[in-house]
Chains A and B, each alone.
Chain A
């Protein structure tokens, strides 16, 4: 399943600047169904509500380090739920969290990207999520 820019995408990050950067990078890739959440908890609520409404999210791009529900906790919640077991999930991490990536892999992350990253790297990482 190749990446379709028309997919409904949820961007999760507590920093508005990073949400806007990702949103603008994805927009440059042709994406136009972009939604934002500022933490894992509201993100989880949006994922459930969208599914219930019959318009589920098709791809999650989430920061790891957030003050409420972290990206890892959000990923675990998603993978524990039968409805979202295969929902593609790209984790954004800081260099310092790279050693934790194995934990994210075990939790079922689709791919990860280390900050700082360019739009070219983001596109490459997404293409690996949707081979």
Chain B
């Protein structure tokens, strides 16, 4: 993917993440510089994932693309952030917060999807899923580029991953 396309495609996800954390997780976040990810091992213990596919129209040409959004948290960071989102305090991971990460991913994806539609991207998104466990792997669509962005918060970092490839 051309660098310009990466910036264009990823920016709405970063903006949506900042907005979502400000309004619904009550936490200020600081995205660091993006890097190419070269492993399928998740950076965190809990990862929320949403697959996507669609078309992009540029310069009169329509191309198919596939991609994935992932948010991966160390478990203590996840537990605290889920608590902030739900106006509760949790000591540890439990059923009550098991879909909190997926809901954050869902909101970010839905928000970014709307903004991307304005610049030519039509996206179909799958339902979010969550994986839990240290060292778990993320199944990226084959032959796709994965960008990882460390997200800083007052209680520790987590990771945003955006995967994208035009056909």
Q: A interface vs B, CB < 8 Å?
A: 15-18, 20-21, 24-25, 28, 67, 94-98, 115-118, 121
Contacts and interface: CB of A to CB of B under 8 A. Distances in A.
Given A28-B87, A116-B20, A117-B23, A17 B111 contact: no
A17 B102 CA distance: 9
Contacts of B20: 115-116
Contacts of B117: 96
Interface of B: 16, 19-20, 22-24, 82, 85-88, 96-97, 99-100, 102-103, 106-107, 110-115, 117, 123, 127
Given A24-B87, A28-B87, A116-B19, A95 B113 contact: yes
A18 B110 contact: no
A94 B105 CA distance: 12
Contacts of B87: 21, 24-25, 28
A114 to B, nearest CB: 8
Main secondary structure of the interface of A (DSSP, over half): helix
A96 B113 contact: yes
26 contacts: A15-B102, A15-B106, A16-B96, A17-B82, A17-B97, A17-B99, A20-B86, A20-B96, A21-B85, A25-B87, A94-B106, A94-B111, A95-B16, A95-B110, A95-B114, A96-B111, A96-B113, A96-B114, A96-B123, A98-B114, A115-B20, A116-B20, A116-B23, A116-B24, A118-B22, A121-B23
